[in-house]
Amino acid sequence: MIQKLISKIQKTHAPIVVGLDPMLGYIPDHIKSKAYAEFGETLEGAAEAIWQFNKEIVDHTYDIIPAVKPQIAMYEQFGIEGLKAFKKTVDYCKEKDLVVIGDVKRGDIGSTSAAYAVGHLGKVQVGSKTYTAFDEDFATVNPYLGSDGIKPFIDVCKEEKKGLFILVKTSNPSSGEFQDQLVDGKPLYELVGEKVAQWGEECMGDSYSYVGAVVGATYPEMGKVLRKIMPKAYILVPGYGAQGGKGADLVHFFNEDGLGAIVNSSRGIIAAYKQEQYLKFGAENFGEASRAAVEDMVADIDGALKNRG
């Protein structure tokens, strides 16, 4: 799957992923009103609004982006109905030939980790038959429990030719409380990066590993160091736009070949119609606003890469 991701990045010239993290507050009133008229102000109504919102954004952007990243918590908060909307979103994005990164941040041990891996990336056995449950192409994984938590995911990835993005240095302000702590003179995130590079050697594609890393755009200097530590790992970069990251911050996340990183923007794209520069589209045309935001983001990153020293 890493080869498909790279191919689609090269085809679209867009090393970006759209985060489908649909808070109800992001969804225009006309979408919610229609869903509530059909299902009431219920969990089912909320799930329908989310699904219609996602569908419109995907319809307006699928031809100019390589990938999407639905964050499962935004769906889980609405219970089973929300998870149904998550699955519908995953399936629809795959119909549109988008790579789907399931932002699930799972991390456990043994059979529990294996069950998470099977549920999101693999196949589950039911009697004589096998089924894919959620069927994303990549999943985000928390490595805090060590190799016991990662190996079951790697085993499934090898079998299914799918991939991982392992949390290394996250974009949130308090990430340093643990991730920056020194261990034998090195910050913990560097040791995790070394481990990601090691795990990745087991799962190589043509030029990059199926095992990637998550490194926040809000820490560009750390990204520069981690790029060297993990030369064959694709880096998923959150924190662009709404969290303060911009194209100029991102150049060191990329290798000299212009590959090696994919940058996430969530509310900066899906709620673009609320931003001043896209107000002209109006809430009725929120999908067109999202497309314009994607085009602007691509131009920002492309310009930064062309001008890097």
Distances (CA, A) of 253 to 152, 198, 234, 238: 28, 19, 9, 12
Of the candidates 34, 84, 88, 105, the residue annotated as catalytic is 105
- The one-character DSSP state at 163 is E
d(CA 207, CA 230): 13
18: tokens are 């759209």
Q: What is the pLDDT of residue 70?
A: 98
Q: Quick check: 245 pLDDT over 90? A: no
Q: Quick check: 242 pLDDT over 70? A: no
pLDDT in tens, 185-234: 999 999 999 999 999 998 888 889 999 999 998 888 888 899 999 999 99
d(CA 203, CA 166): 14
Q: What is the pLDDT of residue 143?
A: 96
Q: What is the pLDDT of residue 309?
A: 56
Supply the range of the domain harboring residue 58.
1-308
pLDDT in tens, 266-304: 999 999 999 999 999 999 999 999 999 999 999 999 888
Q: Quick check: 49 pLDDT over 90? A: yes
Q: What is the pLDDT of residue 244?
A: 57
CATH code of residue 137 = 3.20.20.70
Count up the domains in the chain and report the number: 1
The larger pLDDT score, comparing residue 110 to residue 35, is at: 35
Tell me the mean pLDDT in the region 58-83: 98
Tell me the mean pLDDT in the region 45-69: 98
d(CA 290, CA 261): 21
Question: E strands within the chain?
Answer: 16-20, 67-70, 99-106, 124-126, 129-131, 138-141, 163-169, 182-183, 186-187, 211-215, 235-237, 261-265
105 is a catalytic site residue: yes
With the CA atoms of 252, 254, 258 and 261 taken in that order, what torsion angle do they form, in degrees rounded to the nearest 10?
Answer: -150
Q: Mean pLDDT for the chain?
A: 93
pLDDT in tens, 127-161: 999 999 999 999 999 999 999 999 999 999 999 99
SS3 2: helix
Q: What is the pLDDT of residue 218?
A: 81
SS3 247: helix
